[in-house]
Structure 1
């Protein structure tokens, strides 16, 4: 019989990471900026790049690396869902039209591999261009939403600590 307590779910573990950062003194501004920047970078439309992007941005902006990687990890599924729409949106910026049908991609690669690679690179660059236009708006929006939430969490935490320090009410 297993008497060990069940492991908390992903949401509870994520919340615990945020609360631990608050305990260590990170400000609501830093926390909101970390979440906003890392969430934008996590949606970058090139697979396999987001971890390094978060690492570089975290170092440059002095943001919290563990939290950035947590947000990056949590949004990896969303990145996969958005990558094709971002590539398609890049066509509005002048990226070449490129069918992403597996049969057509295979035929293009077999016929002219270097040209197919160049065309696909253009599609990816178009998606990155569209992402670059949207990312600052995304960062501002996420920051504006999360900063008041984190400020309220700190206020609740301070109120609870003050109440605990005051002790039980006198009878």
Structure 2
């Protein structure tokens, strides 16, 4: 009986990938790696994180887009990372604004929902002043944290991403 030619033997099929990897993880990784050096990718992650955690609702998209365009980074990747931080942003919003109100000169008890409701029903200007102080103080605390943690995160991510992307390049060129 003749032996089949090695060229005619069907290759063993690759194991099927999971839906999670095929539909979510791989497109995300492709988007993040699209035309970026490891340094640019690290900067994209840092800026996306910083803009995603800003303690003012509604400005994440605008600030992330403006920074990504200005620094010639991948806008979609920056926005994706920024919006992935939205649940954490919501968790940090009240503590940052509360501490920010104290930092910016609001005396008395901490910022609470009951205090704001009372002020809005009895002293609207006082409530707006308290919110303004809370927002400014929260932004100051956020900016201080970003100035310290941003460079640290960038310096930690850069060698990791360089190593990861160097390992991925030979796999990409084999196809």
The TM-score, its normalising length taken from structure 1, stands at 0.80
1:125 alignment counterpart: 136
1:112 alignment counterpart: 123
Please give the per-residue CA displacement for 1:103-124, whole angstroms capped at 9, x wherever unaligned.
2211110101122112111111
2:93 alignment counterpart: 83
Q: Structure 1: where are the runs of 5+ without partners?
A: 166-171
Looking at structure 1, the residues matched to 116 and 171 of structure 2 have their Cα atoms a distance apart, in angstroms, of 59
1:43 alignment counterpart: 53
Contact 1:45 1:127 in 2 (8 A): yes
Looking at structure 1, the residues matched to 102 and 25 of structure 2 have their Cα atoms a distance apart, in angstroms, of 37
Deviates more, 1:98-107 or 1:61-70: 98-107
Looking at structure 1, the residues matched to 63 and 162 of structure 2 have their Cα atoms a distance apart, in angstroms, of 27
Contact 2:101 2:135 in 1 (8 A): no
1:168 alignment counterpart: none
Shift in CA distance, 95/34, structure 1 to aligned 2, threshold 3 Å: farther
Higher RCO (Cα < 8 Å, 6 or more apart): 1
Equivalent position to 2:168, from 127, 132, 157: 157
* RMSD over aligned Cα atoms: 2.5
Number of matched residues? 158
Please give the per-residue CA displacement for 1:56-87, whole angstroms capped at 9, x wherever unaligned.
11121112111111111110001011112222
Secondary structure of the structure 2 residue equivalent to 1:48: coil
Secondary structure of the structure 2 residue equivalent to 1:26: coil
Shift in CA distance, 138/83, structure 1 to aligned 2, threshold 3 Å: same
What does residue range 47-58 of structure 1 map to in structure 2 within 5 Å?
A: 47-58=57-68
Looking at structure 1, the residues matched to 102 and 114 of structure 2 have their Cα atoms a distance apart, in angstroms, of 24
Name the larger-Rg structure.
2
Equivalent position to 1:71, from 78, 81, 86: 81
**2:20 aligned with 1:8:** yes
Secondary structure of the structure 2 residue equivalent to 1:125: helix
Q: Which has the higher helix share?
A: 1
